[in-house]
Structure 1
Amino acid sequence: MLSLKLPRLFSIDQIPQVFHEQGILFGYRHPQSSATACILSLFQMTNETLNIWTHLLPFWYLLELVTALYMTDIKNDSYSWPMLVYMCTSCVYPLVSSCAHTFSSMSKNARHICYFLDYGAVNLFSLGSAIAYSAYTFPDALMCTTFHDYYVALAVLNTILSTGLSCYSRFLEIQKPRLCKVIRVLAFAYPYTWDSLPIFYRLFLFPGESAQNEATSYHQKHMIMTLLASFLYSAHLPERLAPGRFDYIGHSHQLFHVCVILATHMQMEAIFLDKTLRKEWLLATSKPFSFSQIAGAILLCIIFSLSNIIYFSAALYRIPKPELHKKET
């Protein structure tokens, strides 16, 4: 019979500092794992296993939803194009995230590059959200205003800046971990805040008659889950309070992944309800996005985000190794 030998696991004091996770003491993979070993680690319990599966399984579910939407003759329904784009970007970020966690143990530079790509995918999703919000969720008073006209264009700029900042933050991980965390959180908080301005206006100021519908409760739940996810990502709880107790199950990044997926689900429900319930009013009030507008925004985001990723990836190989992996002071 064939026997499958799973990769050996290591403790925190056996691997380079760049691979360390706060409060996680055991279950690390070899810091120079092969691609095969990384894939095999999907089927053994490491401190990354649930990080991978909490995004990989939702990806397949979301992909089925995208396929179902595409089969509804969406090519002839320009009103639904923003929804399709949003749902496609909602598939991309969990897939890229699961791949990043899978292959991040191949080398120190591979770890950084994997997460550069992860940040780019998250920002692409942020732009997809902005496109859907602009098309379906804007409160009545903000429709056809200057803010509405430039909302998506500035969302594109935000994704480019956010990708650059979050990639740059990885160069500070060892020497300035607190500054690294602050920059990274701000890099993602700013695009989220910009995207959510119409929702804040709608929930806390004047929604307008057409926006007073069942989607409101889902927008509220989405906001709560996003805030919870942000807290877990920043606080490193509960593993910071009991190092070694949550190495495999229950640490903050796993909980963060679950909250992010739940937040996406709530957001998707809210957008779908707005799209359905406000259709008549929206078509009478504003003009649907054209294909060139949507494609242009997405392509600009991809081109400039990839340029950021390539630039910072190349910078990894220009920095002398003693500086890149200098011990924390």
Structure 2
Amino acid sequence: MGLNTHLCSHEELPAWAKDNAFIVTGYRRPELFRHDTIAKCWASIWLYAHNESAHLLDHLGSLPSFLLPLAHARIFFPSSSSLNRTPTPSDWLDIAGFTTFLLAAVTCLTLSSTFHTLSCHSRQLAKRCNALDYVGIVVMIVGSFLPALHYGFHEHPKWQLFYGLGIVSLGGVAAWAVLTPHYATPEYRPVRTAIFLALGLSAVVPVAHGYILYDYATLRLTMGLDWLILSGSLYVVGALTYACRGPERFAPGRFDYVGASHQLFHCAIVGAAFAHYVCLRRAWAYWHGVGV
């Protein structure tokens, strides 16, 4: 097979397209007649392998999963013997909560996929899509936070409102910060990561409050705390891996196509979203007395 002339090395990229020097090869050429239309960028997902392929296949492959009837999986429910409650139907808050979470997950994955598809098109479009990618992360964090608050403070509507307004406000501040042009450059990657981590770790405050109101064993049932911790841990590990650019930092060129930090970050985000979904299902099952 001959050399794929649609690809280039990091050194051949224009300055605006350079982000991670530890990824040496496999870049799509952002130049005329190569990827100068949205159709050509979209076709590049399927026609040949490049260093964005794993990102895109991971996210695009995960999207349908958030729309499948996962609610029937037995692992999502506590056993009926642990529930001395009369089953009750979902109310509009349950529906709103799950809808918010699922839409947030789909939004995050869609915007991220859009950025990774079109990042080679042009400086202007890449910049706009990169901003949308950041917005998607904020939406995902806030959209995950709100339904968890509904179940964690199910008997305390005032605290639901207080923490709900708090995370929406923090999400707005985070979105403003990461969308500021000054911070949208590669050298500010650690700053952006710190902002997202701070937004996500703000969940520690309501969880600690819930622990004071109840106890750990109760929170495991009422808000699926074990799964919530797993979800948060995956977010943190993924974000730190992304910020540190490992493992490609220690072997430049070896992880150009598979296994780079950004890909590992994507996998962690998807895993965290699934864990959070299980968390919400377990909490819903408890408050509605559902067993299998």
- In which range does the TM-score fall when normalised by the shorter chain? 0.7 to 0.9
**Which position in structure 2 is the counterpart of 1:135?**
150
| Alignment deviations for residues 232-284 of structure 1 (CA, whole Å, 9 cap, x no partner) | 1111001111111110011111111001100111111011101111336xxxx
Matched, 1:58 2:70: no
| Alignment deviations for residues 16-63 of structure 1 (CA, whole Å, 9 cap, x no partner) | 122222311101112232212211211221111111111111111113
Change (3 A) 1:171 1:7: farther
% identical aligned pairs:
21
Contact 2:163 2:206 in 1 (8 A): no
Change (3 A) 1:79 1:48: closer
**Which position in structure 2 is the counterpart of 1:117?**
132
**Which position in structure 2 is the counterpart of 1:183?**
191
Contact 1:137 1:211 in 2 (8 A): yes
Matched, 1:14 2:12: yes
Letter in structure 2 aligned against 1:219: L
| In 1, Cα distance between equivalents of 2:52 and 2:164 | 35
TM-score, structure 2 as length reference = 0.80
Change (3 A) 1:219 1:101: same
The one of 216, 232, 235 aligned to 2:241? 232
| Alignment deviations for residues 144-173 of structure 1 (CA, whole Å, 9 cap, x no partner) | 45x433211122211221111112266562
Contact 1:139 1:207 in 2 (8 A): no
Q: CA offset at residue 203 of structure 1?
A: 6.4
Letter in structure 1 aligned against 2:39: T
Q: CA offset at residue 210 of structure 1?
A: 4.1
Contact 1:229 1:257 in 2 (8 A): yes
Change (3 A) 1:67 1:38: farther
| In 2, Cα distance between equivalents of 1:182 and 1:255 | 17
Q: CA offset at residue 64 of structure 1?
A: 2.7
| Alignment deviations for residues 194-235 of structure 1 (CA, whole Å, 9 cap, x no partner) | 234323455699536642439232122212212211121111
| In 2, Cα distance between equivalents of 1:25 and 1:84 | 41
**Which position in structure 2 is the counterpart of 1:197?**
205
The one of 36, 39, 44 aligned to 1:41? 44
RMSD, matched Cα: 2.9
| In 2, Cα distance between equivalents of 1:157 and 1:62 | 26
Change (3 A) 1:39 1:58: same
**SS class of match (2:221):** coil
**Which position in structure 1 is the counterpart of 2:106?**
91
Contact 2:220 2:226 in 1 (8 A): no
TM-score, structure 1 as length reference = 0.72
Contact 1:10 1:28 in 2 (8 A): yes
Structure 1's unaligned 5+ residue stretches are: 1-5, 69-73, 281-329
Letter in structure 1 aligned against 2:113: S
